[in-house]
Amino acid sequence: MVAKSILAGLLAILAIVLFEAAASATRAHDAPQLSEAKKSLLLLADMPKGWASSKSSNGNAPFPGAAQLASCIGVPTSVITYNAPSVSSPYFDSKDQLLSVSDSVQVYSSSKAAQADFLSIANAKTPSCMTSDLNGPGKADFDAQIGGGTGVGNITVTRTPDSDYAPHTTNFTMYFPITTKGVTVNVELVFVDYVKGREEQTVAFSAFQSTFPTSLARHLTTAADGRI
């Protein structure tokens, strides 16, 4: 299936898209909190019946056009490129392989740093700034990170109602067509983010040729929020 063939490449850049460059190496004093953070991650048991899990992969490239994006939003570039140690869930895929879920928790050096990242995502300018960046200065890098031989069309970033997800979250959604081997698939990527103390948790949803079900997104973000 074409959707499945491009899924790995898309999910590999989730952390990059989420204003998180590659997570820094785990330091000894981070280990206990990272171990605790793993308990917050979504599990296969949280998914609908028939879903499957697969091993996650780690991105290690900077956010495309980070400096331009930071300037547009009005935050220091360091907020966009901050490397926080993190833990991630496996990728969870629906039976038809057209829906996917990924979850991660980043442990920041302070609650202030975690809040700064959350606020950069919640900023009212962020969807339009990301749209401009990913269709402009950051487009070549974004395309390269997805993978050679894959064509990415115009990218639109928007915000959906906060009520679609657990309380105290912020979100943005990316829409774009992607073409591989002559076949074009419409992609929706939804990112839901929230902070508690030094920890920032992000649940990412993807849908191919459809939209991710709101009721399932609300259920999963509520489950994750209850654990952090």
HEC-encoded secondary structure of 118-170? HHHHHCCCHHHHHHHHHCCCCHHHHHHHHCCCEEECCCEEECCCHHHCCCCCE
Q: What is the mean pLDDT of residues 146-170?
A: 87
Q: 195, 220, 194: which is closest to 205 by C-alpha?
A: 220
Q: How much is the pLDDT for 180? A: 77
pLDDT band, very low/low/confident/very high, at 138 (cuts 50, 70, 90): confident
Rounded to the nearest integer, the mean pLDDT of the chain is: 83
Instruction: State how far the alpha carbon of 111 is from the alpha carbons of 39, 108, 114, 169, in Å.
Output: 19, 7, 5, 16
Alpha-carbon distance of 179 to 121, in angstroms, equals 28
Backbone phi, then psi, for 204, in 5-degree steps?
Answer: -115, 135
Q: How much is the pLDDT for 57? A: 61
The residue with greater pLDDT, 203 or 56, is 203
pLDDT band, very low/low/confident/very high, at 148 (cuts 50, 70, 90): low
DSSP states along 98-124: SEEEEEEEEE-SSHHHHHHHHHHHH-T
Q: How much is the pLDDT for 15? A: 41
DSSP helix, strand, coil percent of the chain (3-state; round to 5) = 40, 25, 35
Stated length of the chain: 228
Contact 170, 122 (CB under 8 A): yes
For the chain, the structural domain boundaries read 2-225
pLDDT band, very low/low/confident/very high, at 139 (cuts 50, 70, 90): confident
Terminal Cα distance for the chain, rounded: 35
| Residues 174-220: tens digit of each pLDDT | 999 988 778 888 999 999 999 999 999 999 999 988 999 999 999 99
| Residues 75-134: tens digit of each pLDDT | 999 888 887 888 889 989 999 889 999 999 999 989 999 999 999 999 999 999 999 998
Q: 177, 191, 188, 190: which is closest to 210 by C-alpha?
A: 188
Compute the C-alpha angle 43/216/177, nearest 5°: 100
Kind of pairing between the strands at 170-180 and 52-54? unpaired
Q: Which residues neighbour 43 within 8 Å (Cβ) at sequence distance 6 or greater?
A: 89
